[in-house]
Amino acid sequence: MTGRIIRITGPVVEADGMRGALMYELVHAGTDALIGEIIGLAEDVATIQVYEDTTGIAPGEPVERTGAPLSVELGPGLLGMVYDGIQRPLEVIRNEMGDFIIRGATLPALDRRRTYAFTPVAEAGGKAVPGTVIGTVAEGRFVHRILVPHGTEGVFASVAGAGEYTVMDQIAAVLSAGGSEVPVTMLRRWPVRVGRPFAEKLRPKDPLITGQRIIDSFFPIVKGGTAAVPGPFGAGKTVVQHQLAKWSDADIIVYVGCGERGNELADVLRQFPALSDPRSGTPLMDRTVLIGNTSNMPVAAREASVYTGITIAEYYRDMGYDVALMADSTSRWAEAMREISGRLEEMPGEHGYPAYLASRLAGFYERAGKVRVLGPSGSEGSVSVIGAVSPPGGDFSEPVTQNTLRVVRVFWALDADLAHARHFPSINWLTSYSLYPDDVQGWWNAHGGEEWSAMRGAMMAILQKEGELEEIVHLVGPDVLPEDDKLALHVAGIIRESFLIQSAFDPVDTFCPPEKQYHMMRLITDYARYGKEAVEGGRSVAEIASLPVAARLARLGSMENEAFTEYFEETEREMAAAFGKGAGGRT
């Protein structure tokens, strides 16, 4: 099972004597046993992408096959960890090897010595099929269900009693129909490039609530949905991704920092342990798995990082959890593919990207979804995927953006002009879209109110109107517009300034609960309606704009969530009075 290196060029190495090796098999290359993966075979020559710096490797050095594909370790202890692109534990590496990453580290992803309190659920003699719950351990506040692994079927020959076990200890044995007894531990391995199986895909219907107004109220994503966030540099992709990782109401977050900045990861590591989840009150880090393969870490491991991330996400999905995965940035992943493809001297497609770019992107996003999991529990879990895209020069016509848009159902287009004016999140309300509003309407009716859909439509219509009017204003100035158009511009300004702008750095405004979003929408749509009636009744827009209630609307976002109801009612009353409506308006 040993080959010999015959060529080295950057992260790509060729070896001969490899006949019988498998595509995507994991190998150890060179005398330093660097981890690599076979990405091409020709006769007895294998082409290998190496996940570490290849400096110093020379022809003639050995290549050892492992017989297994690139896999991740799955089991209790994943939450709160920080891994590189091929699931090496970065904090452990730092403790053992120092502040700089030295190559050749081979440390297990899951701690072999740590014990977990196991509580059995299955009993000896019971039926065991893939997905059957053997028992549970507590992983922080989560119930970590230990399931019968795929490919194992029969009856339980034994199930361990309650007690402390490591991930390597046997916790059950399954007697297969063929009569062999298969020992089961809590540790699983799964090849990253293969999606984990499930019983069936379901139609998602619950929104993934993110606490970001323009997302939840205008361009919602569902639990099990897919979204892309493209934008030029400086438009705030990373802040959007961080906000979603912090505040979205998924159970588990997998955050993949793919070819991005080291300081961004440091920022997450600084904030997440200190911030608490608004729903459970526990530190955000306790529900998060971080995959960090920064831009200066080996490029092949960057290519693998998104697969490592999504496999971990699927593992928690299979326990019945709602998982959200953020990949920042999928363009760096695509570029890693391009770099490797270039070294292989493959015929390039558009912009030098390999011809299989579209199918790889589609294959990745297709691993998202809401599913019924395998096994008798019949429980449901979901993986939502939100990918950042970094188009060169901010040009959305480039291949990564275009191929991503073909497969995702939500598009949050970040806009450089908005970012320059410090309008954040800089999601452009005219070009962005979501295909889920109809799916989540039922949820909003139950949790906000019946008018969600109508108010959303009304607000978007006003913004649309503003977009059309802007061209005219540019030609002839705002003065000549009729009063109702002036009102549209005025209300659009209020929607932008008081609803769409949301400060990620304001301690209150950073997370806006759905009920508050709903009430804000009501105030603004009421204001628009009253304003329209007033204009029809002969009042001028200048007069309406000078009412003090307009200034009150501007401060809705930063109003403490607890005090909001009172402020909301007061504003409603004041507005009704200013427009000469009956006391209280509506309640």
**What whole-number distance in Å separates Cα of residue 83 and Cα of residue 80?**
10
Among candidates 306, 479, 480, 324, which has minimal Cα distance to 400? 306
Among 9, 170, 445, 540, binds another protein (CB under 8 A): 9
Letters for 41-80 (x = contact with another protein by CB under 8 A, - = none) are -------------xxxxxxx--------------------
Task: Output the smallest distance, CB 442 to another protein, in A.
Answer: 36
Residue (266 or 430) nearer to another protein, CB: 266
Residue (122 or 289) nearer to another protein, CB: 289
Per the omega criterion (within 30 degrees of 0), is the bond before 71 cis? no
Among 280, 295, 441, 561, binds another protein (CB under 8 A): 295
Residue (318 or 335) nearer to another protein, CB: 335
CA dihedral 180, 185, 186, 191 (to 10 degrees): -60
By CB under 8 A, residue 507 contacts another protein? no
**What whole-number distance in Å separates Cα of residue 74 and Cα of residue 229?**
29
Among 2, 170, 282, 296, binds another protein (CB under 8 A): 296
- Scanning 272-280, 338-346, 428-436, 568-576 for contacts with another protein by CB under 8 A, the matching segment is 338-346
By CB under 8 A, residue 352 contacts another protein? yes
What residues from 297 to 326 belong to the interface with another protein (CB under 8 A)? 297, 299
Among candidates 252, 149, 128, 199, which has minimal Cα distance to 373? 199
**Alpha-carbon distances of 531 from 186, 527, 548, 582, rounded to whole Å:** 63, 6, 14, 15
Specify the amino acid at residue 440: V
By CB under 8 A, residue 274 contacts another protein? no
Per the omega criterion (within 30 degrees of 0), is the bond before 149 cis? no
| Beta-carbon contacts of residue 66 (< 8 Å; ≥ 6 apart) | 25, 26, 27, 28
What residues from 173 to 232 belong to the interface with another protein (CB under 8 A)? 232
Among 123, 471, 479, 562, binds another protein (CB under 8 A): 479
**What whole-number distance in Å separates Cα of residue 73 and Cα of residue 181?**
23
What residues from 376 to 405 belong to the interface with another protein (CB under 8 A)? 390, 392-395
Among 267, 450, 468, 566, binds another protein (CB under 8 A): 267
Instruction: Give the distance from CA 578 to its chain's centroid.
Output: 45
Task: Output the smallest distance, CB 109 to another protein, in A.
Answer: 15
Among 234, 376, 378, 482, binds another protein (CB under 8 A): 234
What residues from 486 to 505 belong to the interface with another protein (CB under 8 A)? 497, 505
Burial 56-74 (b: 16+ CB within 10 A, else e): ebeeebbbebeeebbbbbb
Residue (132 or 212) nearer to another protein, CB: 212
Among 130, 140, 278, 348, binds another protein (CB under 8 A): 348
Using DSSP's 3-state secondary structure scheme, residue 242 falls into: helix
- Cβ-count burial of 6 within 10 angstroms (0-12 exposed, 13-18 middle, 19+ buried)? middle
Using DSSP's 3-state secondary structure scheme, residue 467 falls into: helix
By CB under 8 A, residue 93 contacts another protein? yes
Task: Output the smallest distance, CB 482 to another protein, in A.
Answer: 15
- Cβ-count burial of 179 within 10 angstroms (0-12 exposed, 13-18 middle, 19+ buried)? exposed
Among 121, 194, 554, 578, binds another protein (CB under 8 A): 554
How many of the chain's residues bind another protein (CB under 8 A)?
A: 78
Task: Output the smallest distance, CB 198 to another protein, in A.
Answer: 33
Residue (57 or 386) nearer to another protein, CB: 57
Task: Output the smallest distance, CB 504 to another protein, in A.
Answer: 9
Length of the chain: 587
By CB under 8 A, residue 91 contacts another protein? yes
What residues from 237 to 256 belong to the interface with another protein (CB under 8 A)? 238
Contact in structure between 58 and 40 (CB atoms under 8 Å) = no
Among 269, 458, 469, 577, binds another protein (CB under 8 A): 269
**What whole-number distance in Å separates Cα of residue 24 and Cα of residue 2?**
16
- Scanning 155-163, 313-321, 341-349, 561-569 for contacts with another protein by CB under 8 A, the matching segment is 341-349
Using DSSP's 3-state secondary structure scheme, residue 28 falls into: strand
Using DSSP's 3-state secondary structure scheme, residue 495 falls into: helix
Among 471, 474, 537, 583, binds another protein (CB under 8 A): 474
Among 168, 454, 461, 476, binds another protein (CB under 8 A): 476
By CB under 8 A, residue 482 contacts another protein? no
Whole-number CA gyration radius for the chain: 27
